[in-house]
Structure 1
């Protein structure tokens, strides 16, 4: 109880410090540029979250429905400055959480499973942190070239929920695996040198970057909650997988110190906007280099190492407005050379590998993969029907992942340490709309997604409220359903696919933000 009280006080301290500093920081934010164009402005936000379980979690003994699953506080500082010809940007964020009774139950379950140890003795290591998220300088060279050097984010692509060409960065999904939007908050910035070069003769622009390998291991690829926390997939909540594995960022096929980079051409052709891109980067989702079937290097972990092998991605986007349908249509396609997948489902165990082959630990196989996205954005007129104060922005998006030359005999799995078989196509259909009331101060929304190949999906009703100039509030329910779900550790149902990971983990989340 004392530890939980200290955590709650820490969350309160983050919020209290931010609220206390906000007025003074707001004064700085209003600074005007001097006669030489120099200025310094600082802003940001203080934000708090509270989330509650809407379902009972089968891994624990008690009934978890209604329990507080997240009590989190964050403070973000966002500074802009100009000194002569150079523009500067710095963004820092501090995050603290309280150990809720639900998290304490999961931590105790980790002890029961015998998976607490090493450097991650506390489940809170997954959620507390502080980081310099961005720090860069930008300057022009001539009339056409703009250089940006430092820690930054580069966003290429057209899709929101899923990512085809938006692969420059990984995402930190350890503390909150699923809710609408927030890509800028989840994306993990990298140390890059980038340049934009305008080519007005061809109505286009070249955008290129290099990553010189200065980033930390934890900055590479996607980060998931594998420590048994609230967003580890069923049935692994309460099982700390980090106790039996380690991260290898020096693997010969995925060394974080190796240089990576990309180049993108974006332009106009008549009424269409289009882009062509190439990215040399790390596979976003980690794969397991297993002790049972090592991949080009023996793993250091007792069971496997997580690695992010290098991949090559070639992509294109196109978008345009149809006056006849009053709709903006977008399309995106990405061809990934040598996307890594783990091998070994529960249905194809071997005498050599035994049960390990049912855990996705039967090795790594490279497969070329094509991801496509089709999207239609349209303003719908609900003013008379629903009483909105303006047309409602709505979008429908279909996203497909196609494994080239797929064969069932290859025994590919969807995710490491999970024996769910990977199918040739995985197709997700999503749609959302946002309604606006009282001069856009009350904004309900609803998003829905379904897995067209395997069943399951999500429903996200929400409401975003503007409270004056500085305050914002949001309430959101993340409701999941699945056709199959895992029932026991290391014995997953082979029918489990994407939404089986979210089984029995529907959440109700409240968020309050004070901007300054």
Structure 2
């Protein structure tokens, strides 16, 4: 209501400020209600937007001066109306799969795993923390079996792979696994996302000042222009929708509605200064502009969604929260420790308890504000005949997280610390002459213990926009190469590596008549193909499967958008279809917009996903970070050599193979959106 009051007050001053130009104000209300299969209400988002702009008189040589303000406030009622799924009552006790054959039920409650859970059914593998079996086990009082789901629900069951409990309640209700400054939203933060971080002023969505300086230049007989825009804004590079090839200056809030909202609504505005030299005609060029962009705001990553919310792209937020909980409090991991073949079926594994600071995610390393951490880019844009083009370059930080683990990760406590062994074993981990396994925390090659980082990236690219006259089609092309991006890689002791990445999008737009469907208006067909290629991809075949980088070396995603208009353009049916080729994943979103009046619009539709769903990849439980105790020797692995042998599971790396579409395979929704412009 504060935003509305501000808007009405500002609206009331428009007459008084007439000598300098009147405020032009628009106000919008929107309700977006979504119901998800097997979940019920998944979103009850109510949004108020106010947009205002005002022109000012010339300031000396500076002309075209104007101020633009855009404010947004949101209340998502799903946390009150469906708190059993999202909110303070979400989650519950969990039971984790166990393939050892030692547990008749095949399922072990969180906190009752082998080695540390004091579970007599494990026989010789039963243990109590610190009782001669190393440092396995954790304090169940610090990590109780409540308020959790199993990692990967409801997309898949563990299927013989690793999984663990993930807390899902807001961080003020349950602080387990919350990453400070990154994914630590309270219940009110989730209800009112624009007010979650007071320092970021997200409710002030955009606030920028425009001005131009006109001058004479020897490059042209015509007057030249320097255009400036400073403030909180979106800087849009590129010519395509959905796929971000050049359009990477602003981070994106995928928690709002995954990838299905317009980029205009989910880009996160940043404090940016832009200067554009508008040269006009230069030589054979009908127009030429040179833009410099300086993003001087404090670094901000993409919002991937906090576990316990409806939209968690790639389910990454749940993996992060579960891993952070493992590091801080210890926990139970399904199907982890191999059962010796003499005691069980070959390849079977026990659900295992770990202690704190042994595996998981220690911290997120968000860059502090320094001049060197700001981001700068430049763009040349021009028109040559019927072709519009741009050349782009950008130095920035990756807005997607990278996990630095193994030998590049945090110092970890060995679960075998204090384990007494015969000195004549001559293991390198034994303290000299003592026969006690090393107790000093240290980074361990191939260990699944991580810090989250955001590496610096260089980008060079360009775009083209032209008409193919014979087929009456507009073509849009973007391409870019980046240096410095990081990807998971189980071949490397630090469990990640860098790769150059080539990306491109080809888009084709055509308006055409289909008389038997609509004799009065055209149909818009918009086709896009996005390609991504990792030039330094690493993948090898090991004894039990592929190891290396789970991201596809080469992959393509295609989208098709179809729209037409009926009833004097008041009725607008739409259809969006998408396919991820390598993931075998599909999405389809039919919808209809109906303008009830000039100010009132209703949209009804559905979002349906289908395809191959969850996929498996090497999960690194076979990486043998503590030889010989963690060796999968009975499955073909060496006793004293660290590194994976190809054992696979859905978690944690399968998400990079199934992609955003495959990861949301079980999230079919129907929705109704009401929009009203009240002034």
TM-score w.r.t. structure 2 length? 0.61
The aligned residue for residue 509 of structure 1 is 671
> Cα–Cα, structure 1 residues 368 and 440, in superposed 2: closer, same or farther, change >3 Å?
same
Q: Where does residue 457 of structure 2 map in the other structure? A: 311
- Over the aligned positions, Cα root-mean-square deviation in angstroms equals 3.4
The partner residue of 1:47 within 24, 30, 42 is 30
Structure-to-structure mapping, 1:177-326, within 5 angstroms: 177-179=258-260, 181-202=261-282, 203-212=287-296, 214-215=297-298, 217=299, 220-232=300-312, 240-241=321-322, 243=325, 245=361, 246-250=363-367, 258-290=373-405, 293-294=408-409, 303-326=449-472
Per the TM alignment, residue 223 of structure 1 is displaced from its structure 2 partner at its CA by 1.1
Contact 2:314 2:655 (C-alpha < 8 Å) held by counterparts: no
1:79 pairs with one of 52, 55, 74: 52
Q: CA deviation at 1:41?
A: 2.2
Using the TM superposition, give the Cα deviation of residue 284 of structure 1 relative to its aligned residue in structure 2, in angstroms. Answer: 2.7
Partner residue of 2:189? 125
Hey, what's the Cα distance between the residues in 2 that align with 1:39 and 1:221? 37
Of the candidates 556, 567, 571, which is equivalent to residue 442 of structure 1?
571
* Counterpart-to-counterpart distance in 2, 1:290 and 1:395: 42
**Residues 440-474 of structure 1 deviation map (CA, whole Å, 9 limit, x = unaligned):** 11101001111222311111101111121211211
The one-character-per-residue Cα deviations of 1:324-356 (angstroms, maximum 9, x if unpaired) are 101111211111112221223xxx6x9xx7xxx
Structure 2 counterpart of 1:334, from 477, 480, 505: 480
Aligned residues: 458
Describe the SS at the equivalent of 1:221.
coil
TM-score when normalising by structure 1: 0.79
Query: How many Å separate the matches in 1 of 2:571 and 2:55?
Result: 36
Residue 235 of structure 1, CA deviation: 6.8
Whether 1:497 aligns to 2:626 is no
Q: Which residue of 2 aligns with 1:428?
A: 557
Q: Whose radius of gyration is greater, 1 or 2?
A: 2
User: Is the CA contact (8 Å cut-off) linking 1:28 and 1:41 kept in structure 2?
Assistant: no
Query: How many Å separate the matches in 2 of 1:43 and 1:193?
Result: 25
2:511 to 372, 379, 395: 379
Corresponding residue of 1:414: none
Q: Distance in 1 between matches of 2:586 and 2:576?
A: 11
> What whole-Å deviation, never above 9, does each CA across 1:240-268 have from its counterpart, x for those lacking one?
446565432227xx979612111111111
1:167 Cα deviation after fit = 0.7
Per the alignment, do residues 486 and 30 of structure 1 end up closer, same or farther by CA in structure 2, a change over 3 Å counting?
farther
The answer for unaligned runs of 5 or more in structure 1 is 1-13, 57-63, 354-361, 412-418
Distance 1:22 1:150, change over 3 A: closer
Unaligned 5+ residue runs, structure 2?
A: 59-64, 94-145, 149-164, 168-173, 195-201, 215-223, 328-360, 412-441, 543-547, 617-648
Contact 1:249-1:255 at 8 Å conserved across structures:
no
Q: What is the CA–CA distance in structure 1 between the aligned matches of 2:654 and 2:534, rounded to whole Å?
A: 22
Separation in structure 2 between the aligned mates of residue 408 and residue 29 of structure 1, nearest angstrom: 64
Counterparts of 1:466 and 1:22 in 2: how far apart (Å)? 28
Match of 2:342 in 1: none
